[in-house]
């Protein structure tokens, strides 16, 4: 996937739209993974499951906080 994102010689509007959608899907899945991991930590009574965690993506202005 990284090769496809770095290949600018085939750069078209449709390709850029596909890259943008892929990027959003990856970010959404990352957020789901972090939320799931924190929920599992709480269920297993792990120490870090009892504190909020914050996560974000490179070059983005938003930070997500897990629910306590």
Mean pLDDT of 5-34: 81
Give the SS3 label for residue 65: strand
**Of residues 15 and 52, which shows the higher confidence score?**
52
The domain containing residue 22 runs over which residues? Answer: 2-65
Per the structure, the count of domains in the chain is 1
How much is the pLDDT for 17? 85
Q: Which of 53, 15, 13 is CA-nearest to residue 34?
A: 53
In the predicted model, what is the mean pLDDT of the chain? 83
Segment 54-66 shows an average pLDDT of 81
For residue 42, what pLDDT is reported? 93
Give the pLDDT mean for 29-52.
92
Q: Calculate mean pLDDT across residues 11-26.
A: 83
d(CA 37, CA 48): 10
Contact status, residue 53 vs residue 38, Cβ threshold 8 Å? yes
């Amino acid at each position: 996937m990284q090769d496809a994102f770095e290949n600018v010689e085939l750069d078209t509007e449709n390709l850029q739209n596909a890259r943008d959608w892929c990027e959003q899907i990856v970010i959404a899945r990352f957020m789901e993974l972090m939320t799931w991991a924190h929920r599992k930590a709480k269920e297993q009574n792990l120490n870090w499951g009892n504190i909020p965690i914050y996560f974000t993506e490179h070059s983005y202005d938003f930070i997500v906080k897990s629910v306590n």
